[in-house]
Amino acid sequence: MTIKETQLEVLDEMSMFDESIEKMEYLIDMGRTLPKIDDKYKTDEYQIKGCQSDLWLNAELIDGKIVFTASAAAMIPRGIIAVLIRVYSNQKPEDILNDDTNAFIKAAGLNDFFQMTRSNGLEMMIRQIKLYALALETKIKN
């Protein structure tokens, strides 16, 4: 599936819920599907800085596509990173870099789950995904 196809699938799933509590339960369920990060990556180097919850993200290039794994201590950040991984894992770095992630975040209402003081964590998750994509795209080209 392409990034856009996966985003549309997530948006379709989320549109079934009218209440914020239902969307929150969806995110918690998504968090249960999170591809677990190996404990060796639970270090400062892989930790998402700026996130109030402990959250680690790793990316590996496999057959020209990025495969993400993560771990998060809190349920909502775990669910949100699971959604992001669902969308961006197994995609080419250039496709991740070219995607308008902010438009997806807005359409999905993922910002709605954070107070202003915590929205920095979501921005840092997206930033780290894009940084991994940039680094791995460079690796492919060299």
Q: Which residues does the annotation mark as catalytic?
A: 51
Dihedral sign (CA 92, 93, 95, 100): positive
DSSP string, 17-57: --SHHHHHHHHHHHHTT--BPPGGG-SGGGB-TT-SS-EEE
Closest to 120 in 3D by CA, of 77, 65, 89: 77
User: Are residues 50 and 123 in contact, defined by beta-carbon separation less than 8 angstroms?
Assistant: yes
Distance, in Å, from the CA atom of 36 to the CA atom of 21, rounded to the nearest integer, reads 25
